[in-house]
Amino acid sequence: MPFSDTEALRAAVEPGHGLVSIARQCELLGLSRSAYYYRPEPVSEEELSCMRLLDEIFTQYPY
CA distance 43 to 12: 27
What's the whole-model pTM score?
0.62
CA distance 55 to 53: 5
What's the confidence (pLDDT) of residue 63? 83
Q: What DSSP assignment string belongs to 7-26?
A: HHHHHH--TT-SSS-HHHHH
What's the confidence (pLDDT) of residue 4? 74
What's the confidence (pLDDT) of residue 1? 41
CA dist 46 → 43, 49, 59, 60 (Å): 8, 5, 20, 21
User: Which sequence spans correspond to the domains of the chain?
Assistant: 5-60
pLDDT tens, position by position, 6-34: 999 999 999 999 999 999 999 999 999 99
